[in-house]
Amino acid sequence: MKEREAVISDGIKTHRSDEIQKDNYLVRPPTNDVIEERIGLDNIELKTALLISPGISTTDPSKEQKGEVPRSTLFQRTLNAVKIDENYLSSAPLWRRQLYRRIPTGFAQVVETFIIRKKVDVIVSWSDMNGLLFALLLKLTHSKVPHVSMMYWPSKPKKAFLLKHVHRQITTLCLWTTTHRKFVTDRLGVPSEKITMIPHLVDQEFFHPIQRQTDMICAVGQEMRDYPTFIEAMRGLDIKCHIAAGLSPGAKMHNTVKAVYRQENELPPNVTAGALSPIKLRELYARSRFVVVPLLPTDSDNGSLVITEAMAMGKAVICSLTEGQRDVIVEGKTGIYVPQGDPKALREAIQYMWEHPDIAERMGREGRKLVEEKFTFDNFANRIKDIVEDTAIKFKRNGRIGSLL
C-alpha cells in the first residue's frame, strides 16, 4: 500500500493511504422502476429470517429499556425478522431438536433457516460462515430464495473458497470495506452489481458524549489487537490507561488479549486491564481524553466498532494503519493513523494528543458529527431494510418471491 505523510496541526506526522478519504456510503439513487415497485411494498411488511452466528447472547429487553445496554433488538424490529439463534432452535419440533443436539449449533441454525425459508420473504445472514453454508445448501438442493449476506471478513481462505463457488446463491452481498470489495470482484469473480457497500454502525443513543474529567486514556477490543506494541508504547509515560478487553470465564479469548494477561504481572504501573460491562465501558470512554486502537496487520476492518463507539462518545481516535482499516476515521479530522507495529510512533502520537487536549476535543466533536451523519444504528438498520426490499423486488421480477408478494 502506497503511503504518504501528512502533517496534523502544528507538528505530529501521521501516515495514511491515498484512498482513506473515500466516502464509501454514498448510495446510488434507485431507478424509477425500483421506486415504483418500492411504493408497491408500502402496504406490505416483508418478513425476514435473520441468520446469525452461534453463541451470541440474547439481550434482556428490560435492560435495553432502562438504557443499561445498547439497543441490539433495533435491527431485528426494523427488519421484521425472526432471529435464528439457539433460542429459536429450542422451539423447533421435537424431531428437529433431537437432530440439532447431534450436530454443531451453527449448522443446526443453517438447516433450520433452510427449512423455514418459504415462510419468509428474504433471508438475511449476518454471519460469514453460516451465510456461506446456507448458500451452499441452496446450491446443493437447487433451491432459490432471496438471500442478503452481510460478510465481515470474506478474504479468509476458507470463506473465500466457499464464496467463489456459492456467490450465485447470494442475491445481494453487503460489505463494509473497499479492500474486500476489490478482493471479491477481482479474486473471486463476484459481479460488482451484486455488491452493496454498507455503513458501519454504533448505537449513538447509548454511546453519547458525557462530561467527565479526562484523566486517562483507554484501549478497547480484542480481535486482531496489537496490545504488546501498545503496552511498550505506554511504558514510562505519565498517563493512566485501561485496556478494556477480555471475556467471561469459559468463553473464547483471542490470542491478542491473552498476550495482555500473560504480561499482567509485568504491565507498566500506569496500565491496567480487564473486561467491563457496557455501562462501565461507557464511563471509561467518558473519562478518556482519547481512545487508542492498536491493530495487527489485517485486511479486514477490525476495530471499527470501537472506533465508532469512541467517536459517538465525542473522543478522538489513534489507530494503527492497516490494509483493511481505512474507511472509518477521517485522518486529521476525527483521529490519526500511526504505522502498524511501531511503538515509538505510537508513543509519539499518544504524547502529542495528550499534550494537546484542544486538538483531541476538536477531533472528538468532529467524530460525533460524523457518527450522526453516517454511522447511527438507526441509519444502518434502515439501510439494510432498503436492501431487503430491493432484493425482494429482484425476485418478484423473476417470479421467485416467497410468502407475501
On whether residue 27 sits in a domain, the answer given is no
DSSP 8-state code for residue 295: B
Mean pLDDT to the nearest integer, 206-214? 96
Check residue 6 and give its pLDDT. 45
61 with 185, same domain: the answer is yes
Mean pLDDT to the nearest integer, 128-146? 97
Check residue 31 and give its pLDDT. 54
State yes or no: pLDDT of 40 exceeds 60.
no
38 with 117, same domain: the answer is yes
C-beta separation of 149 from 173 below 8 A: yes
CA distance 320 to 387: 32
pLDDT above 70 covers a percentage of the chain that reads 84
Mean pLDDT to the nearest integer, 68-73? 90
State yes or no: pLDDT of 38 exceeds 60.
no
pTM of the full predicted structure? 0.86
Q: Alpha-carbon torsion 358, 359, 360, 361, what sign? A: positive
Band (396; pLDDT cuts 50, 70, 90): confident
119 with 75, same domain: the answer is yes
On whether residue 12 sits in a domain, the answer given is yes
Angle at which helices 357-370 and 343-355 pack, to 10 degrees? 100
Check residue 21 and give its pLDDT. 40
CA distance 235 to 365: 29
Check residue 65 and give its pLDDT. 85
On whether residue 405 sits in a domain, the answer given is no
Check residue 263 and give its pLDDT. 62
CA distance 401 to 392: 6
Check residue 59 and give its pLDDT. 72
CA distance 405 to 393: 9
Band (37; pLDDT cuts 50, 70, 90): low
156 or 254: which carries more pLDDT confidence? 156
167 with 191, same domain: the answer is yes
Single-letter residue type at 326: R
Band (261; pLDDT cuts 50, 70, 90): confident
On whether residue 26 sits in a domain, the answer given is no
Cα-trace Rg, the chain: 22
CATH at residue 196: 3.40.50.2000
Angle at which helices 128-140 and 105-115 pack, to 10 degrees? 50
265 sits in which H/E element:
none
State the greatest distance between any 2 C-alpha atoms of the chain, in Å, as a whole number.
69
212 with 103, same domain: the answer is no
55 with 191, same domain: the answer is yes
Check residue 1 and give its pLDDT. 35
CA distance 381 to 149: 14
Mean pLDDT to the nearest integer, 222-235? 93
393 with 316, same domain: the answer is no
State yes or no: pLDDT of 389 exceeds 50.
yes
Q: Could you please report the per-residue DSSP string of 34-66?
A: HHHHHHTTTT----EEEEE-TTPPPP-HHHHHT
The domain in which residue 358 lies consists of: 3-20+203-375
125 with 231, same domain: the answer is no
Check residue 252 and give its pLDDT. 60
State yes or no: pLDDT of 376 exceeds 70.
yes
Band (266; pLDDT cuts 50, 70, 90): confident
* Total Cβ atoms within 10 A of residue 17: 17
3 or 200: which carries more pLDDT confidence? 200
pLDDT in tens, 163-198: 999 999 999 999 999 999 999 999 999 999 999 999
185 with 77, same domain: the answer is yes
- Mean pLDDT is lowest, of 223-237, 250-264, 267-281, for 250-264
C-beta separation of 337 from 319 below 8 A: yes
| Count of structural domains, the chain | 2
On whether residue 109 sits in a domain, the answer given is yes
Check residue 2 and give its pLDDT. 37
Q: Alpha-carbon torsion 348, 350, 353, 357, what sign? A: negative
- Mean pLDDT is lowest, of 26-30, 82-86, 128-132, for 26-30
On whether residue 75 sits in a domain, the answer given is yes
C-alpha cell at 156: 479468509
126 with 60, same domain: the answer is yes
Check residue 43 and give its pLDDT. 57
239 with 181, same domain: the answer is no
175 with 66, same domain: the answer is yes
C-beta separation of 405 from 396 below 8 A: yes
On whether residue 354 sits in a domain, the answer given is yes
